[in-house]
Amino acid sequence: MKRRCVTFLAAGIGLGMLANLGWAQSFPTQPVRIISPFPAGSGPDVVARIVGEKLTARWKQGVVVDARPGASGFLALGAVKQAAPTGYDLLIADVGHLAISPSLFKKLPYDPKTDFVPVGGVYRTSFFIVVGANSPIRTAKDLIAAAATPGKVTYGSNSIGGPLHLGAAQVEAATGTKMTHVPYKEISQLYIAVSTGEIDWAMGSIASAGPLLKAGKVRFIAVADDARSPSLPNIPTLEESGGPKGVKARTWVALMAPKGTPAAVVTTLNRSLNDALKQPDVAEKFATFGFVPDPTTPAALASLIDSDTVVYAGMVKRTGASAD
């Protein structure tokens, strides 16, 4: 009798595994929705649509990008948190939502580790030091010299404790200077303020500050990374520009699924996503924003979220930033 029960149990487990495998092999059988906390037309939103087009062609099923900006991303992340864990509702989110917010908010309506499962990286990009076109600051060395008087130099961001704020704070800490942070409500306001000289500088990417760079309103004087950007190879690194070594101000965007999504489905999603990101035309389109495709495994993404959560917790503590 005992042996018979064990046999039935093993058979049941086997059937369950076959069912999951069959589900994954047939996935998707209906349209997939990518819920986004980013405004329509923004860099991450456009990227999601580029990837969505590739997935649509691969799966022969529609992929819809549902932009739900606002409330610090809570609307979008909350929707995916409550979605059925089937793989048909996905989340595109960045380092701010997944690694910074846990330290920035005392009460966060989601937990990146327990409410979602990683699918894979989408892209990464580095921040540049952005100054006005008529600014006397032409190098990182000039910036450090100008900041010799505590509080004299001003820098801006589009949110307290956000990636741009903490990226600039890294530079401030690494140079041993004290600068004044000026937050703005909109990212467009931020770079207009830099261009007019209302503030001295800000961190920015090709996607966020690139239009004003092309218009000749701002200049990029250095990239806060250990290597030059392939998209702007003439811009020196922070160290090459006379700044400190080892400052890496970057951001990344990833794809997540609701907790409980079957592992086999996550594997299918990851494989499809990575195949899309490895296509040459996708890399070319990403490069217009200064983005580098970042195909990764779910495990590697989980490790990145964990490590960056620790790093940014220290930065938030050091700056005293709080969104509450």
Q: pLDDT tens across 191-205, in order?
A: 999 999 999 999 999
Beta-bridge partners for 121: 254
Residue 322 has a pLDDT of 83
Sort residue 11 into left (φ over 0), alpha (ψ -120 to 50) or beta.
alpha
Instruction: Note whether 7 and 16 are within 8 A (CB).
Output: no
**15 pLDDT higher than 60:** no
Neighbours of 223 (CB within 10 A): 29
- Location of each CATH 3.40.190.10 domain in the chain: 128-248
**Residues of 100-120 as b/e, b for ≥16 C-beta within 10 angstroms?**
bbbbbbeebebebeebbbbbb
Q: pLDDT tens across 106-133, in order?
A: 999 999 999 999 999 999 999 999 999 9
Which tokens belong to 2?
Answer: 């005992």
- pTM of this structure: 0.87
To the question of domain 128-248 being in CATH 3.90.79.10, the answer is: no
Instruction: Note whether 248 and 224 are within 8 A (CB).
Output: yes
When pLDDT is cut at 50, 70 and 90, the band that residue 297 belongs to is: very high
More confident residue, 21 or 302: 302
**83 pLDDT higher than 70:** yes
Q: pLDDT tens across 217-269, in order?
A: 999 999 999 999 999 999 999 999 999 999 999 999 999 999 999 999 999 99
Residue 24 has a pLDDT of 55
When pLDDT is cut at 50, 70 and 90, the band that residue 25 belongs to is: low
- Location of each CATH 3.40.190.150 domain in the chain: 31-123+252-319
Q: What are phi and psi of 153, to 5 degrees?
A: -85, 135
When pLDDT is cut at 50, 70 and 90, the band that residue 6 belongs to is: very low
Q: How far apart are CA 305 and CA 224, in angstroms?
A: 20
Size of the chain, expressed as the number of residues it contains:
324
**18 pLDDT higher than 90:** no
When pLDDT is cut at 50, 70 and 90, the band that residue 62 belongs to is: very high
Following DSSP, what letter does each residue of 108-141 receive, concatenated? -S--TTTSEEEEEEEEEEE-EEEEETT-S--SHH
Instruction: Note whether 37 and 45 are within 8 A (CB).
Output: no
- CATH top-level class of 31-123+252-319: alpha beta
Residue 196 has a pLDDT of 98
Residue 19 has a pLDDT of 47
**63 pLDDT higher than 60:** yes
Residue 289 has a pLDDT of 92
Closest CA to 201 of 244, 140, 250: 140
